[in-house]
Amino acid sequence: MPSFNHTTKQILERLMNLQEFTVTVPVEENWMPNGVVPFDISIKNGLATVTIPALTEDEARSKIVAYFNSNEDDDDGV
């Protein structure tokens, strides 16, 4: 198991290297988020423009895809 100091160093390095990425993804015209949205989002003309902190653009896209996929799952029983 990593030591407390090692884990703290990893967290601090991650925080210091975060960048802000803006990613656009298509959404249905009437799509609305459920609950708290963990990033900045604006929706216009069927496109969601999301601004999110991440280490890489790939990580940002992965987080956004995971959020939208989990949000679709929440709609099943509602």
pLDDT in tens, 12-69: 988 898 999 999 999 887 888 888 888 999 989 889 999 999 999 999 999 998 888 8
Please indicate, yes or no, if residue 51 is contained in any of the structural domains.
yes
What total of structural domains would you count in the chain? 1
Q: How many CA atoms lie within 13 A of 21 on its CB side?
A: 17
Place of tokens 């949205």: 37
pLDDT tier for residue 76 given thresholds of 50, 70 and 90: very low
Question: Is residue 24 within 8 Å of residue 46, measured between CB atoms?
Answer: no
Phi, psi (degrees; rounded to nearest 5) at 26 = -75, 145
Please indicate, yes or no, if residue 60 is contained in any of the structural domains.
yes
Which helix (H) or strand (E) element contains residue 42?
A: strand 40-44
Please indicate, yes or no, if residue 50 is contained in any of the structural domains.
yes
pLDDT tier for residue 73 given thresholds of 50, 70 and 90: low
Tell me what pLDDT residue 1 has.
72
Please indicate, yes or no, if residue 11 is contained in any of the structural domains.
no
Please indicate, yes or no, if residue 9 is contained in any of the structural domains.
no
Please tell me whether the overall predicted TM-score, pTM, comes out greater than 0.75 for this model.
Answer: no
Please indicate, yes or no, if residue 38 is contained in any of the structural domains.
yes
Please indicate, yes or no, if residue 4 is contained in any of the structural domains.
no
> What DSSP state is assigned to residue 44?
E
